[in-house]
Structure 1
Amino acid sequence: MRLQVRGRGARRWITFGAIAFGTVFLAVGLIMAGASVSFLKDADRAPGTVVALEWRNDDSGTSRRSREHDEPVAYPVVEYRPTGGTRTTFRSSVGSNPPSYERGERVGVLYHADSPEDARIDGFASLWLMPLIFGGIGLVCAGIGTAVAVVGRPRS
């Protein structure tokens, strides 16, 4: 009898943890999506050109052994001219391997007139990838936690 009570209590905590974790991730995803929408609302557009690919290994503090097999990631470096301004260069915050863009490729650039160095490539990954990842993980975790809570609740 005692073992059953501990199991039920542990299941409740795990279920609560999954729902809480999922809710936090879903909220972060929604906040990031809101930031992208806000950026799009106020952004100016300009044509740009990928002038270089900056290859980097992500040093996320992992052990040396796990980094030995990591492949470098290419971050596009884009040059554009804001309306009435001088040429500006920025490195995209989204990289990939294989590269999403080639050197010399024309891309759309979104930027704020008051801070042209804070620019983004007008593409799905730079605007929506992180909100979708966080929101998706949050939705799945909260959904599983909620389903376990509903199925495991005592019947009357």
Structure 2
Amino acid sequence: MSKKIPFGDFFVLFFFLVGALFAGISYYIYQGNQSLVKNGIATQGVVIGMHRIDRKKYPVAPSVRYFTRDGKEHVFHSSEGRNPPEYQIGQEVKLYYDPNKPEDVYLEGNYLLVYVFAGMAGVFWLISIWGVPAAVVAIWKWIWS
């Protein structure tokens, strides 16, 4: 006698785990930003331009010129674009950079990726969380019966 595979229960568990993965990514990005705030060097930068993340799409991200403590000029090209743009050319922004890797930059208050991944985690969890206990029981019974 063959056991019927609980595909629906595996699907519910899979959705829950994908949500956990997105939550973990969101937390990892947030912690990296906070590490730069805590251990990095704060400075002022100036938005010198706006660039598209993808040539064919409108969301634009800032390019920021800043100087490190040793007086070297750097340009940071953000990968977090928005529509409408959050920054204006000529606007001064506070940023943090890693003194050992000055190209590792965090723009103050720029949590877009944290919000995106946390939001996706929330959606996956809302879809699946209610069925996780029953799915775990069904899969457990399927495995051991």
TM-score per shorter chain, which class?
A: 0.7 to 0.9
Q: Is 1:122 matched up with 2:108? A: yes
Where does structure 1 lack aligned partners over 5 or more consecutive residues?
A: 59-69
Q: Is 1:132 matched up with 2:129? A: no
- Per-residue deviation, 1:114: 1.9
Q: Is 1:87 matched up with 2:87? A: no
Aligned to 1:105: 91
Aligned to 1:30: 27
TM-score normalised according to structure 1 size: 0.72
Where does structure 2 lack aligned partners over 5 or more consecutive residues?
A: 139-145
- CA distance in 2 between counterparts of 1:116 and 1:136 reads 30
Letter paired with 1:46: T
Query: 8 Å contact 1:23–1:139 — kept in the other structure?
Result: no
> Once the two structures are superposed, what CA deviation does each residue of 1:113-135 show, in whole Å capped at 9, x if it has no partner?
22222223222x3xx22123222
> C-alpha root-mean-square deviation of aligned residues, in Å?
2.5
Q: Is 1:149 matched up with 2:135? A: no
Query: 8 Å contact 1:44–1:113 — kept in the other structure?
Result: yes
The SS at the match of 2:6 is helix
Residue 10 (structure 1) aligned to one of 4, 7, 11? 7
Letter paired with 1:131: V
The SS at the match of 2:43 is strand
Change (3 A) 1:77 1:13: same
Moved more, 130-139 or 145-154: 145-154
Letter paired with 1:136: G
Aligned to 1:65: none
- Per-residue deviation, 1:99: 1.5
Query: 8 Å contact 2:64–2:77 — kept in the other structure?
Result: yes
Q: Is 1:51 matched up with 2:48? A: yes
Report % sequence identity: 22
The SS at the match of 2:86 is coil
